[in-house]
Structure 1
């Protein structure tokens, strides 16, 4: 790689097309040489990350929805959840969460497109999964989280195992999405802030131990990545980070804690932050050998010009990285997605 241009790109997960085939065809056409892995864009009920999980979990015996009236979000009901009075959370059995079924369906499309020559040989199919903490922290009351987390965690690991059984390992990449974690770190987590870290006083250790365990559940012949995130509701963070310091600290602690190689780590860069003050913490980033770094510095609002400003600053603090958006683009305005993908191609070189 040269010293003036990033190498490669990452699609974080959600993409604002109506179906998986459109996402994969368009990504391959507009970004193909930049991408080592292609996601399905999380269409349908997955369009808003974990917002579909309450409708799934609410079907379980012993789980109640909070509130008498649905909170509509397109086809979804976004009401939170609670364990019913008198129910032992350990006895709850959640239905299939939907991730394994979607991955199997989309992989069949991915494989057909690759066989037809639309997707380059060697490209992997990327499956993005929320951390169990994200769903538990977002939708269950604070006093129930410690008891229900291991139940939901096992349900998510069951989904992961089904994905690992359904998709050849040399075709697969798993990404764990960490967003609620940064809400807890910053003290603005949904329905409870820092004090809602239900595992004790050491917030950072509890978070990175969970992420390391999630990495260990992915066999070493499957790629694993981590998307570190400050949220994306209406294209806004839940809080604007002062700088990249907490992101770098988390990445370093995770790197130290894992028992297998991390394939990639993604860190967001807010649109207004092309300054050294935000990116200087990258001087202290310590990734494992072979771990790819992607910086989420592509924004639809200022295109290639804005991305290049942020790239120029980032290159003063880290010599090698690829480009991405700061979060998924599944909620981007209709008609803007092609332009966002083209911006990646304009500012990065092929692998």
Structure 2
């Protein structure tokens, strides 16, 4: 632990959210294993290929569903993906919608083969887990379905996500697997962020005419995905405020909403949670930002990763943010991470960011 931090806070472990800007899954797995060593308990494949922009590739999966139609005649292209929403077109009842494969299981199977090969070569240490990120179904449904039809389409898409998990588990043994459920759109709902077209609102939000508390409603839906992960596999949550052009959709005033969501997940998820990751913005090295962490209700066995590493200010900035956290968390064991994935940043920054994890943790 850096000498400048005099509290009893203990640093242990590096977490990668998922996105890493390297050309292939094999390159990502090899580079992370080599640079992070035993600091990384689990390694993602970098979300290469069509997953480069998180859920944007899911638009084509909605387009392929009989009973859904795109809104508008001309594509609305973001990062090469058509992001026009869909509506129920009346040709198939909502209860009979059926999604095909979503692509997560196919990618996991290919990357896990690389993981196994590199482990056999001795590049990846025994006991390291293969990490797969699964976005909350709320994210894709909110992005690719027009607001009036989201509640009706959600069950079909959620069922498809659970089938993807089944397919992943058929390929990756539970003892090798770590599943990260990713919540980002959920925080847009909590904050009322403008994602285009006004303040984001969940159809189930009591404040928007629904019948649930928005935090509990988001947590309950995420918990249904989490419950599908067997206890032999690890389960984690990435709590996110978005990453478009390396900016949040809104800057959190403090960690209050993050703590509320984490505690709601603890209450809703019927199995152990292995880790929780949350962001710490670059300009928040103050105690008021992290003060709500005093109310975090995680089990002591649950790993807490603070996303406080930033390429702009390196070790010095990380130490300042850790110093603030130490005043709140006391003797808690914490790991370090970046705020979000860093796959959409310049590729020549990747090695230095990986090395920053090691420098902060201590080689």
Q: 2:216 aligns with which of 205, 221, 234?
A: 205
Structure 1 partner of 2:199: 193
Aligned-residue Cα RMSD (Å) equals 1.7
What is the CA distance between 1:349 and its match in structure 2? 4.3
Q: Output the CA distance in 1 between the equivalents of 2:323 and 2:228.
A: 37
Deviation at 1:20, TM superposition (A): 0.4
Q: Does 1:262 align with 2:273?
A: yes
Report if aligned partners of 2:215, 2:260 keep a CA contact under 8 Å in 1.
no
Alignment counterpart, residue 236 of structure 1, candidates 232, 236, 247? 247
* Aligned mates of 2:80, 2:49 — CA distance in 1: 9
**Aligned in 2, Cα 1:192/1:209: closer, same or farther, shift over 3 Å?**
farther
1:46 has 2:51 as partner: yes
Match status 1:340 vs 2:353: yes
CA apart distance, 1:209: 1.2
Q: Indicate the SS of the match to 1:317.
A: helix
**Equivalent position of 1:325 in the other structure:** 338
Per the TM alignment, residue 200 of structure 1 is displaced from its structure 2 partner at its CA by 2.3
| Change over 3 Å in CA distance of 1:203–1:19 after alignment to 2 | same
Q: Determine the structure 2 residue equivalent to 1:291.
A: 302
Of residues 250, 259, 274, the one that matches 1:248 is 259
Q: Secondary structure at the match of 1:300?
A: coil
Contact persistence 2:293–2:328 (CA under 8 A): yes
Conserved 8 A contact 1:9-1:322: yes
Deviation at 1:314, TM superposition (A): 1.0
Distance 1:175 1:250, change over 3 A: same
- Contact 2:306–2:336, Cα closer than 8 Å, also in 1: yes
Q: TM-score, normalised by structure 2?
A: 0.92
Contact 2:181–2:238 (8 Å) recurs in 1: yes
Match of 2:154 among 144, 149, 162: 149
- Larger CA deviation: 160-169 vs 199-208: 199-208
- Offset at residue 316 of structure 1 (A): 1.4
Q: Please, what TM-score do these two structures have when normalized by structure 1?
A: 0.95
How far, CA to CA, are the matches of 1:178 and 1:297 in structure 2?
18
Are the aligned partners of 2:150 and 2:203 in contact in 1 as well (CA < 8 Å)? Answer: no
Distance 1:262-1:240 versus aligned 2 partners, 3 A rule: same
Structure 2: runs of 5+ lacking an equivalent = 2-6, 205-209
Unpaired runs of at least 5, structure 1: none
Q: Assess if the C-alpha contact under 8 Å between 2:179 and 2:234 holds in 1.
A: yes
**Higher alpha-carbon deviation: 163-172 or 187-196:** 187-196
Give secondary structure in 1 for the equivalent of 2:55.
helix
2:109 equivalent to 1:104: yes
* 2:318 is the counterpart of 1:307: yes
Task: Verify the 8 A CA contact 2:9 2:333 in the aligned structure 1.
Answer: no
Give the C-alpha shift of residue 138 in structure 1.
1.9
Residues in 1 aligned to 2:135 and 2:310: alpha-carbon distance in whole angstroms = 23
Report the alpha carbon displacement of residue 201 of structure 1 after superposing the two structures with TM: 4.1
Shift of 1:86: 4.9
Structure 1, residues 127-156: CA drift from partner, whole Å, max 9, x if none?
A: 001111111112211110111000000000
Q: How much has 1:94 moved relative to structure 2?
A: 1.3
Report the CA distance between 1:59 and its aligned residue.
1.4
Q: For the residues of structure 1 that align with 2:280 and 2:79, how far apart are their CA atoms? A: 29
**2:160 aligned with 1:160:** no
Hey, what does 2:207 align to over in structure 1? none
Aligned twin of 2:4: none
Distance between the aligned counterparts of 2:223 and 2:79, measured in 1?
35
Q: Which secondary structure state, in structure 1, belongs to the residue aligned with residue 220 of structure 2?
A: helix
- Supply the distance in 1 between the matched residues of 2:187 and 2:144 (Cα, whole angstroms): 16
Query: What is the CA deviation profile of residues 200-257 of structure 1, one whole-angstrom value per residue up to 9, with x for unaligned ones?
Result: 2421221111122222111111100000000000000000000001101111121122
Deviation at 1:73, TM superposition (A): 3.8
1:150 partner SS = helix
Decide whether aligned partners of structure 1 residues 211 and 129 sit closer, same or farther in structure 2, where only a CA change above 3 A counts. Answer: same
| 88-97 vs 73-82, which moves further | 73-82
Q: What is the CA–CA distance in structure 2 between the aligned matches of 1:15 and 1:147, rounded to whole Å?
A: 34
